[in-house]
Amino acid sequence: MKQFDVVRVTAIRGDRFAGGELFDMRLPLVGDVGTILEVYADAYEVECSDVDGSTVWLAAMYPDEIEFAMSK
């Protein structure tokens, strides 16, 4: 997967997001669709936006937590 690919959350490892909100944003949920903003050595920075373009959540996701949905 590469920068700006659209991905779907398929799993969330353990209790990574068990602490409540993430920077006053909703937490990622299985089934959410987002865009890869940055590619790291072992993870991806993914942003999920609403229909108005506002950020719903922004989080680092591991490769085994997301699947490719489409290229932009």
Domain coordinates of the chain in residue numbers?
6-70
- Return the closest-CA partner of residue 68 out of 44, 40, 51: 44
- Return the closest-CA partner of residue 56 out of 20, 28, 19, 17: 28
What is d(CA 40, CA 25) in angstroms, rounded to the nearest whole number? 22
Condensed to tens digits (0 to 9), the pLDDT of residues 11-35 reads 999 888 777 666 677 899 999 999 9
Condensed to tens digits (0 to 9), the pLDDT of residues 35-59 reads 999 999 999 999 999 999 999 999 9
